[in-house]
A = this chain, B = another copy of it.
């Protein structure tokens, strides 16, 4: 059970202390405090854990400071969408909103290779008014003998260039807790010209220690990608590790399931789960069409499979898109075959726009029909 307190409730106030005293006396109930410091107000939520079935919502509503009460199911306590749960399904970071009703495009390099390519990419983004990108510095690779990314060495120029081209958020995969500190330091030394969304990849989603470390900080939001061989439920539970440690700025990413039933695509695209994640949790949902499809091949109607699955994700309400681009895919050090050409960017964006408009029309239509009933 969650007690959502009135905005700006002070921990020093006598009412708050009275509330705490009351809760302490409840048998078999532990309390966990979550505080969200916003620009305008501070929100406090108290999680009651234990035998909460015996507690009545009405009783709890009568306690001092309590604004609302949400009875939660066992799973996804923090990130889950519970019955009568009107808590927000968005967060803001560095001037960009990430919510279940927004759409952000993260086109960029799967792996940073040269400073020139980073600049070409970012310049193109700015030219199309994009303020987000993906830039891989730490690359987990199947073989220990493959290129593993430039690591922290490339961070300074990546961040400088991001500042130069007005990029607000860079999605960047981390594979070790130390990368968080490296990113923080590089941002500090470059004067924080941009922001970073930490990305935890499919291989590390059940690396719970890394999840906890990313959850213990609230400077950076986290994009966590679904595990490619585990159930959706297991992946959502893994995302909850972040929130259980305090960081709720979490985006959930779909990137396809590993099975040869998906051939000739690299993965079996799972974007039918976009609405499922939005129903079960309050996380915005990201799709990664490049890794899901793994090839630039075109269909008979002149559209590539990557663009088709992107449109599929978006027409069902996806909130974020990761897409691999590269100035010369044939020379990319990682995942060249799935990278789009930079000159394809405007087509990609217009195509997304059509799909997004269709999604918005669909939602408006559904609202009309609901009213009519």
- A-side residues, CB < 8 A to B, are 49, 74-75, 77, 81, 89, 100, 140-145, 175-176, 203-204, 206-210, 227-234, 237-238, 240-241, 244-245, 257-265, 268-276, 278-279, 292-293, 297-303, 305, 307-309, 311-313, 315-317, 347, 350-351, 354-355, 357-358, 361-363, 365-367, 369-370
Contact = CB atoms under 8 A, between A and B. Distances in A.
A272 B312 contact: yes
Contacts of A203: 206-208
A16 to B, nearest CB: 25
B301 A278 contact: yes
Nearest to A245: B144
A276 B268 contact: no
Given A351-B362, A354-B365, A308 B274 contact: yes
**Copies of this chain, tallied across the complex:** 4
Contacts of A363: 301-303
Nearest to A282: B300
Contact of A270 (B100, B268, B302): B268
17 contacts: A89-B300, A142-B206, A175-B207, A203-B206, A229-B261, A233-B264, A257-B268, A259-B259, A265-B273, A268-B268, A279-B298, A301-B317, A301-B363, A303-B363, A312-B316, A347-B366, A350-B365
A100 to B, nearest CB: 7
A105 to B, nearest CB: 16
A279 to B, nearest CB: 5
B276 A143 contact: no
Given A309-B316, A315-B315, A261 B231 contact: yes
